[in-house]
Amino acid sequence: MRDTLIIAPPPTPNGDLHVGHLCGPYFGADVFRRYLTLRGHTCITALSVDVNQSYVVTTAERLGKDPGALAVKSHQEVSETLDMADIDFDIVGFPDRAYTAYISDWFAALYERNIFQRQTRPYPYDVVRKRFMFESYASGTCPVCLSGTNGNICEACGHPNDARDLLGLYPTGGAPGDPIEMRPVEQYVLSLEDWREPLRDYLDTAIPERRPSLQRLIDELFARRLPDFPITFPSQWGIPAPFPNADGLVLNVWAEILPGHYHWLEQAASSKNMTFPTDADYVQYLGFDNSFFYLIAHVALAMAAKKCGVRSVLPAAIVTNEFYQLDNFKFSTSQGHLIWGRDLLAEISADEARFYFAWSNPDYSQANFTMEDMERVLNRKLRAPLKTIRAGLQAVTVPAQVQDTVWSTALYSRFESVYDIGRQNLRAAAQTVANGLSILIRQMDAGAAPSELCASARAIAVGLAPLSPGLAAELWQLSGGVGRITWPQSEQLSQVA
């Protein structure tokens, strides 16, 4: 049985996690980890925070804080909020000297093998704030979808951009019309076009299961020349580029993230007294807005590293999610349009929050969160059914032997389908739990035998465990389950007529 490595994008440590963050790749990755653990697989999971991201700087400027202190505080808050949500990673790392050395050595090894190209190109320069404009330092309108965006990636359509190409470009923190100068800069890039055919072959064979928005983005990207991917940016915030004659250049944080994942997975494996399993299945969770980086830029970088004999792992599966909105508008920290994760989790249990995160999940399409809908769903689909079932199970004598039935077997089959990595569907998982609870109540009303009731209850508990582990454990115990929740062996289910 192969080990599984599970990774999610590092949150930017410029604040705590709001509900939109929680419901995305962090929750999805945790659900998958719990499912695999139920099935007897060994998982290594890792997360870190994105300290070298330019958004740390611009947020600190807006708040009047020191960016380093903001990052430290945010890392602590992120870790606490994940813990409150029962979202568990083996490590939630904060970049340190060992991390920086690992990243520098990784890129230096690729540089020595002539993987990168050096270019001289004009860069927009913010005269007022005295910095070059890229990522969060640049603001304007996306030339593809015409949404407001920052530099290098558009969150709305997923297309990469060059800050020079933004319509109505202006410096972040300033206003349209602020002075901008074009200044020549030496930069290192990876030519993605050179990797077009290997990328296309890999995506077609290794990642055949793609969600609709992701498929559209891939088709649009490959319809034209793939862009050069910046390995460095002219800045003072970040890891200095470990190349000769690279003064004033730092590593692009989106390039840094790839070997950063490897570093934190190594640390996570070490914490479990394991070595990094090179033959493991590598599963990447991410928000759709980061798709270009993970599916194109990172895969090309990993292929280049593999060619050079440098540590690299290609994903066996990539799972994206769409945006989770609040009252039909995007969560926005800067505009105060949000619900902090810790505030929600102070009002309701993690189990209930997780069930609703699954029920309303933006896994295949954009979804909307409202407090009213959450209360309505929880009352009708979880709280009331569980209250009835608790009373019903407490009134029966649990038999010494509980045999699976056609009902419990059907539930196991459906749960296996909706949790499988190739077609994971968290909405369908929550709906299956709700269907199972309704079935069990009907069985109780019809006077079904205790063995049949307990078989259904245990199947529901197993399927609920990746979503709401506390409620699942309670249901497992009420139905006579002993010890930890376990998924039945396939031979047990095959014996059911």
Res 200 pLDDT > 60: yes
Residue 496: predicted pLDDT: 57
Say how many Å lie between the first and final Cα of the chain, rounded: 29
Let me know: does 317 contact 346? Beta carbons within 8 Å. no
Residue 1: predicted pLDDT: 58
Residue 193 tokens, joined: 């076009």
Residue 493: predicted pLDDT: 58
Strands 43-48, 92-93: parallel, antiparallel or unpaired by DSSP?
Answer: parallel
Reported as half-sphere exposure (CB side, CA atoms, 13 A), residue 305 has a value of 21
Over range 315-326, report the average pLDDT: 92
Per-residue confidence at 497, pLDDT binned at 50, 70, 90?
very low
Distance CA 114, CA 116 (A): 6
Distance CA 247, CA 235 (A): 10
pLDDT digits (tens, 9 = 90+) for 54-75: 999 999 999 999 999 999 999 9
Res 494 pLDDT > 80: no
Q: Calculate the alpha carbon distances from 431 to 175, 349, 360, 427, 435 in Å.
A: 47, 19, 10, 6, 6
Res 81 pLDDT > 90: yes
| Amino acid in position 265 | L
Residue 206: predicted pLDDT: 78
pLDDT digits (tens, 9 = 90+) for 12-42: 999 999 999 999 999 999 999 999 999 999 9
pLDDT digits (tens, 9 = 90+) for 446-470: 999 999 999 999 999 999 999 999 9
Segments in 446-495 forming alpha helices (H): 450-464, 469-478, 490-494
Give the H or E element holding residue 171.
strand 167-171
To the nearest 10 degrees (0 to 180), the angle between helices 67-84 and 54-63 is 100
Distance CA 7, CA 17 (A): 17
Beta strands in 15-101 (DSSP E): 43-48, 92-93
Res 329 pLDDT > 80: yes
pTM: 0.95
Residue 140: predicted pLDDT: 96
Over range 102-111, report the average pLDDT: 98
Distance CA 22, CA 84 (A): 11
Secondary structure (DSSP) of 236-283 = SSSPBP-STT-TTEEE-HHHHHHHHHHHHHHHHHHHTT----TTSEEE
pLDDT digits (tens, 9 = 90+) for 256-303: 999 999 999 999 999 999 988 878 999 999 999 999 999 999 999 999
| Amino acid in position 120 | T
Residue 203 tokens, joined: 């995506």
- Mean pLDDT taken over the chain: 94
Which of the pair, 269 or 210, is modelled with greater confidence? 269
pLDDT digits (tens, 9 = 90+) for 131-184: 999 999 999 999 999 999 999 999 999 999 999 999 999 999 998 889 999 999
Contacts of 201 (CB under 8 A, 6+ apart): none
Res 112 pLDDT > 60: yes
Distance CA 361, CA 318 (A): 17
Candidates 83, 54, 81; CA nearest to 67 is 54
Residue 460: predicted pLDDT: 98
Per-residue confidence at 495, pLDDT binned at 50, 70, 90?
low
Residue 279: predicted pLDDT: 86
Distance CA 195, CA 303 (A): 9
The hierarchical CATH code for the domain 4-321 is 3.40.50.620
Domain boundaries, the chain: 4-321, 370-494
According to DSSP, the residues that pair with 125 across neighbouring strands are 132, 181
Residue 490: predicted pLDDT: 65
Strands 324-326, 317-321: parallel, antiparallel or unpaired by DSSP?
Answer: unpaired
Per-residue confidence at 421, pLDDT binned at 50, 70, 90?
confident
Residue 423: predicted pLDDT: 83
